[in-house]
Amino acid sequence: MDEKIALAAEKIKTSKHLVVFTGAGISTESGIPDYRSQGGIWDKFKPIYFDEFMSSRTARINYWQQRLDMEKSLSVSKPNAGHLSIAKLHELGILKVLITQNIDGLHEASGIPLEKIIELHGNTRRVRCMRCKKLISWEKAKQLIDAGDKAPVCPCSGYFKPDTISFGQAMPVEETRKAVILSSKSDVFIVVGSTLLVQPAALMPEYAKNSGAFLIIINLSDTPYDKVCDVLIRGKAGNILERIVKQITP
Ligand code: NAD
């Protein structure tokens, strides 16, 4: 393990175009469950597809109930050692861009400016009208729910929905395009806490690898890229990233 950490640190330190790609696993140490691990969100809830949300009030009410349940952990969560270590890479001027599948906003809270973050699946701390596209804050949406509307509606009659990408919903075009370009340009690409099963987000390491990047995976369970990566570290993101960054910090 020490050798792998030293090699990863050396590659990161000398990289010219470092891309970090994170999934739900980086936030489990902040108390936010991932989807697929035992005890994860899919053990508790069934996913609601975008067309169900748009066509059924019952589905919308269920969706908002799931969002309220997530708020229990989200409202008390703080960036952990993993988020803070990536923020340190930004501070050191090494991080080119952070691509995340996460919707929890913890990377921004860790001190990485939004311009350096690509949120591929949106952010659940914002809420968007599905008709006029207006954004409102989570707090505003919560006020509407508390006032009795279990599936809040915009004054334009569009349905409000957390500003995240549901199953069956189109990916954000600009974010996806930027993520593909920047992944393809990377010389070192780190995956942290992702099963790499959700497409097209999970194709990013492939774009990086095909362009010759050094691929590092830090994850507790298997991914489809384990066999092709250059360094595979099975361990908790917070501890491993902290150890790597310690070796880089002057
Ligand atoms: P996933 O749930 O499919 O997989 C998480 C991976 O992280 C697993 O392989 C697990 O072994 C690993 N893991 C868990 N804790 C870890 C730790 N402490 N250190 C290292 N690895 C750890 O997550 P995914 O691949 O990101 O995809 C699921 C989708 O779920 C994403 O699209 C994302 O939008 C959404 N999601 C986001 C959040 C969040 O924002 N925090 C939470 C749940 C789901």
Model confidence pLDDT, tens digit, residues 169-183: 999 999 999 999 999
What mean pLDDT is reported for the chain? 94
Confidence band for 249, pLDDT divided at 50, 70 and 90: confident
Residue identifier of the C-alpha nearest atom 9 of ligand 1? 195
Beta bridge partners of 217: 191, 232
- Is the pLDDT score of 42 beyond 70? no
Q: Which atom of ligand 1 is nearest to the CA of 22?
A: 26
How far apart CA 167 and CA 72 sit, in angstroms, is: 23
How high is the pLDDT of residue 45? 72
How far apart CA 21 and CA 102 sit, in angstroms, is: 10
Peptide bond into 200 cis (omega under 30): yes
How high is the pLDDT of residue 37? 62
How high is the pLDDT of residue 36? 67
- Is the pLDDT score of 166 beyond 60? yes
pTM: 0.93
DSSP character string of 215-234: EEEE-SS--TTTTT-SEEE-
How high is the pLDDT of residue 233? 98
Amino acid sitting at position 149? D
Confidence band for 200, pLDDT divided at 50, 70 and 90: confident
By the 8 A CB rule, do 225 and 191 touch? yes
To test ligand 1's pocket by mutation, which of 20, 27, 35, 120 has the most ligand atoms within 8 angstroms of CB? 35
Mean pLDDT in residue range 200-205:
90
Confidence band for 30, pLDDT divided at 50, 70 and 90: very high
Distance 242 CA to ligand 1 centre (A): 19
Mean pLDDT in residue range 184-195:
97
| % of the chain beyond a pLDDT of 90 | 89
How far apart CA 211 and CA 44 sit, in angstroms, is: 39
Amino acid sitting at position 135? L
Is the CB of 27 inside a 6 Å radius of any atom of ligand 1? yes
- Is the pLDDT score of 121 beyond 60? yes
Model confidence pLDDT, tens digit, residues 108-117: 999 999 999 9
Mean pLDDT in residue range 90-98:
97
At residue 149, the 3 state secondary structure works out as coil
**Is 107 a catalytic site residue?**
no
How far apart CA 73 and CA 96 sit, in angstroms, is: 30
Mean pLDDT in residue range 153-168:
96
Model confidence pLDDT, tens digit, residues 51-69: 999 999 999 999 999 999 8
Residues 6+ apart with CB under 8 A from 210: 184
How high is the pLDDT of residue 199? 85
Considering only the C-alpha atoms of the chain, give the largest distance between any 2 of them, rounded to a whole number of Å.
58
Q: In the chain, what are the domains?
A: 1-32+79-121+171-250 (3.40.50.1220), 33-76+124-164 (3.30.1600.10)
The 3-state secondary structure of 71-123 reads: HHHHCCCCCCHHHHHHHHHHHCCCEEEEEECCCCCHHHHCCCCHHHEEECCEE
